Structure 1
Amino acid sequence: MRIPRLASVFLSVAGLLAYLMYVKQHYARPAAAQYRPPGYTLLRGPAGDPGPATDEPAKWHFRYGVMIDAGSTGTRIHVFKFLHRLNEVPKLAHETFKAIKPGLSAYADDPDQCTAGLLQLFEVAKASIPAAFWSRTPLVLKATAGLRLLPGEKATQLLNKVRAVFSESPFLSSSDAVSIMDGTDEGISAWITVNFLTGGLGAADSPTVGMLDLGGGSTQITFNPQDEKTIQTSPIDFISSIQMFNTSYTLYSHSYLGLGLLSARLAVLGGVEGQDAPAGSVELVSPCLAPEQSCPWQHGEVVYTVRGQKEGEPIYDACRTKVEKVLYRRVQPAPETRDLDFYAFSFYYDLAVDLQLIEAEKGGTVKVSDYSNAAKRVCERPSDQSPFLCLDLTYVSVLLQELGFPPDKELKLARTIGEVETSWPLGAVFHYMEANRR
């Protein structure tokens, strides 16, 4: 009877030792190898997408996002590839971009016609993203001023058609993936983009920069106030709070619909936004053109014939007076514009390039007074090659001053930062992902 008892003791001890060895090996595994954040993919992902070299590959994750910008003049797709690491600001590994024309709003009377263009853009996304990621890559379309200016029923029918096309795509498309972007959200998204690219996001004490955007149909101003008085005294709908990369930001942000450069040009010329196309052209007379000038201009579906006014006061003075009437009480002066650094985009940039104030590829810095000084020069010597340059420069110079920018204020102009476009889609992707993670 002694031998079986000894064998039993031996087996018990051996079993205990085996269990202890298993526990030791199990808990010795790296913590990162056991953690899988939802919706993320480990660096060692699908073949052909190995990611960057790192000493700790299990902590890096790839993610993709697709944003379609349905603007007033065209439809543009941005395919972003991000590199994430837990509790850190993500890195942008790559961006694919393609633009098509016309803008989505051109199909307001025949929504089915938008399908071909959207499918063309989907092919760009499919070629840029490994198939294994398609079903978990968010596909989002945000329409801006072009659709905001459409009659409600037309905009709804058009967006419903876009949603139907989205539902057939292989990408992740939630119920809120197709929408008309609120103007303030457009400004906030552009602010996120430029501050991500300049390194201002991710810590409460990191300095941020302000953002000015001048599109065709609307214009935005957004900045992070440094003075508590700004938050307390500004209109309540000018103040927004966002959470981005584990940091809270309070922003002064407002969008002025109808004060984008092309909509404002129409207003200064005396036209009416959104009117139905009449038979033949509509004639407009403007003090911002020389008396002998006459030219066609199409805005929306209407073709205008624009000609100069009869001789009178100097063109610049007459044009400035007209612009000031259009902007009267429509713009709120913003505080802190003298003290904060501001980046300016879109038509601010394009006009500076036309005037050779900055290089087209590199960008640069201009003063607010550069626009007004250029307006005076151009208005004195009108050009048939750029008949609206006098009007546009006068409008921009008055708009900036109405927003509170002094003449000697310097603005940084950049089309790209680190080879990435400075427009709102990158920030909108971040904003969308943050909102849908909570």
Structure 2
Amino acid sequence: MTTPTIILTVWLLAGSLFTEATYYRHHRYVPHYRYREHSANTENLLPDASNPAPEATRSGVPEVFHPAPPVIHQIPEAFHPVPEVVHPAPDSHLLHQMHHHTAAEAPFSPGQSRVFYGIMFDAGSTGTRIHIYKFIQKDPVELPVLDNEMFHAIKPGLSEYKDKPEEGGNTIRQLLKIAKKTVPEEEWKRTPVVLKATAGLRLLPEEKANALLKEVQEVFEESPFYVPNESVSIMNGANEGVLAWVTVNFLTGHLYSNTRRTVGILDLGGGSTQITFLPKSKKTIENAPPTFTARFNLFNNTYELYTHSYLGNGIVAARLMTLGALGADGLDWKVFTSSCLPKKFREEVTFAGSTYKVSGIPGGYAGYKLCYYEVQRVIKGIFHQPYEVKGSSIFYAFSHYFDRAVETGLVGNRGGAVEVRDFKKKAKEVCNKMTKYGAINPFLCMDMTYITCLLKEGFGFKESTMLQLAKKVNNVETSWALGATFDFFRNFNIH
């Protein structure tokens, strides 16, 4: 199927998000942009909230979960609306900011196409991914379009190199080789390269995380690409959810619509998990904890999202929490067991730079009910449940939601629509046929049970809630990377 061209309104996607409940006055103007109707058959129709659940607090979490991160932006610098510029600045405008330039290029004239690129690294807990975006501007009075994306991932994640930062830097060098093959050489000096780390580095002690970031910065500096200020950082967890929400709703066409019908997003990483949606009821925002909301302007509309990132509740961290291993001592001699694992399974698992010995229970019992009980203890009392998720909202779920659904045969490689109850049904099947599915992935029973419990007892979804599982939308990865790239282009004043 031919992927439709995606209109990139980069200069509209600029500014600041606010977690405070404070509106501000923005420029009153009518933006002009090319409208392209996307096939979007999902809506986020949410009922009024009547008795929202009280805020849940987490206790007993090891201190390693909350190291003080390096100085970073608390919220994305995206989405501040600016007046329309009908005559884009020539490349010499970029020259002022990009020290790699040696000469200004000729102004952009009508009838002439201009191509530019952006490179975004997603340094997650289970792997590092590179997103290389190609944009085309065909006319100075029209907005650029997103032409395509080159995506590649490498394992393990940077956090696994906490004691060997130089080796972590080498993984970035490998991915930069792909960037050099993808981006034409004449574009290298004006193509920005950015890395944002997520939960994997947020879980590390500050000094070790900083050592890795410093190494990546040095690798960037030796590359032929443009390295902007603060090009290497740890991203605030709330940013992940908001920028992923922008990416998915942009790709599905919802942000072009005046109906304000959007889809929520569920992202399940290795170290953290995010939920973000646009509430229908003001009560959802009013009753949410202050740090669970974000406000911004986009397409001359004000959006106030419900969003939160739960650090330590990503799929890999949750495995170790279920096993009672995360934050434990005596890792050299202890073996952590679970009825969620095949009885004869025994393996060493490395996460955030620490290695754990884990196994099934050779002479014990295994199965869905016992596994659910173990997983429930990890989730119970941690999550705030917005009342509106019990309504008819549609959510896009990706990352490990998608990966586990594909591994178990719940959906095919192209994804698809499922209900929450489908995860429960498949989890029971996997756990009760552990020998069969254990050969695919010994953690499948634990992971599928965790996802089921997370959706039902964590976030509070009904079993009938529809989830759209997707790895890509319009051939672009469903992640926060595209939204983050919009942000950096705003800083470069590319129109």
TM-score over 0.5 for the pair: yes
| Partner secondary structure for residue 392 of structure 2 | coil
Overall identity of the aligned pairs, in %: 44
Q: Is 1:230 equivalent to 2:284 in the alignment?
A: yes
Distance 1:243 1:431, change over 3 A: farther
Q: 1:389 aligns with which of 440, 444, 451?
A: 444
Equivalent in the alignment of 1:412: 468
In 1, the alpha carbon distance for the partners of 2:85 and 2:296 equals 32
Distance 1:38 1:331, change over 3 A: farther
Q: 2:478 aligns with which of 404, 422, 430?
A: 422
What CA deviation, in whole Å up to 9, does each residue of 1:349-397 have, x standing for no partner?
A: 122112212111x211111011112222332332242432222111111
Which stretch of structure 1 is more off in the superposition, 245-254 or 63-72? 245-254
Equivalent in the alignment of 1:80: 133
Letter in 2 for 1:135: K
- How far did residue 339 of structure 1 move? 2.4
- How far did residue 344 of structure 1 move? 0.4
Equivalent in the alignment of 1:51: none
Q: How does 1:13-52 map to 2 (within 5 A)?
A: 35-37=87-89
In 1, the alpha carbon distance for the partners of 2:449 and 2:301 equals 40
Q: Of the two structures, which has the highest relative contact order with CA contacts closer than 8 Å and spacing of 6 or more? A: 2
In 1, the alpha carbon distance for the partners of 2:93 and 2:475 equals 26
Normalized against structure 2, the TM-score is what? Answer: 0.72
Distance 1:244 1:293, change over 3 A: same
Equivalent in the alignment of 1:20: none
Letter in 2 for 1:287: S
Which stretch of structure 1 is more off in the superposition, 92-101 or 363-372? 92-101
What CA deviation, in whole Å up to 9, does each residue of 1:39-71 have, x standing for no partner?
A: 6999xxxxxxxxxxxxx635x653321101111
Distance 1:331 1:33, change over 3 A: closer
In 2, the alpha carbon distance for the partners of 1:339 and 1:87 equals 41
Letter in 1 for 2:227: S
Distance 1:364 1:295, change over 3 A: same
Letter in 1 for 2:387: P
Equivalent in the alignment of 1:189: 243
Which stretch of structure 1 is more off in the superposition, 394-403 or 94-103? 94-103
Unaligned runs of 5+ in 1: 1-31, 43-55
Distance 1:378 1:102, change over 3 A: closer
Equivalent in the alignment of 2:121: 68
Q: Is 1:284 equivalent to 2:339 in the alignment?
A: no
RMSD: 2.9
| Partner secondary structure for residue 170 of structure 2 | helix
Q: 1:304 aligns with which of 318, 332, 357?
A: 357
Equivalent in the alignment of 1:400: 455
| Partner secondary structure for residue 341 of structure 1 | strand
Equivalent in the alignment of 1:3: none
In 1, the alpha carbon distance for the partners of 2:86 and 2:195 equals 35
In 2, the alpha carbon distance for the partners of 1:87 and 1:430 equals 19
Q: 1:143 aligns with which of 187, 197, 210?
A: 197
| Partner secondary structure for residue 255 of structure 2 | coil
Distance 1:233 1:39, change over 3 A: farther
In 1, the alpha carbon distance for the partners of 2:280 and 2:86 equals 42
- How far did residue 283 of structure 1 move? 0.7
Number of aligned residues: 389
Q: For the pair shown, which has the larger CA radius of gyration, 1 or 2?
A: 1
Equivalent in the alignment of 2:385: 333
Structure with higher helix content? 1
- How far did residue 304 of structure 1 move? 1.1
Letter in 2 for 1:324: Q
Asked if the contact 2:191–2:225 (Cα under 8 Å) also holds between the matched residues in 1, the reply is yes
Letter in 1 for 2:349: Q
| Partner secondary structure for residue 73 of structure 1 | coil
Equivalent in the alignment of 2:167: 113
Asked if the contact 1:203–1:247 (Cα under 8 Å) also holds between the matched residues in 2, the reply is no
Equivalent in the alignment of 1:373: 425
- How far did residue 315 of structure 1 move? 3.2
In 2, the alpha carbon distance for the partners of 1:90 and 1:336 equals 36
Letter in 2 for 1:210: G
Asked if the contact 1:371–1:396 (Cα under 8 Å) also holds between the matched residues in 2, the reply is yes
Distance 1:305 1:35, change over 3 A: closer
Equivalent in the alignment of 2:80: none
Distance 1:79 1:276, change over 3 A: farther
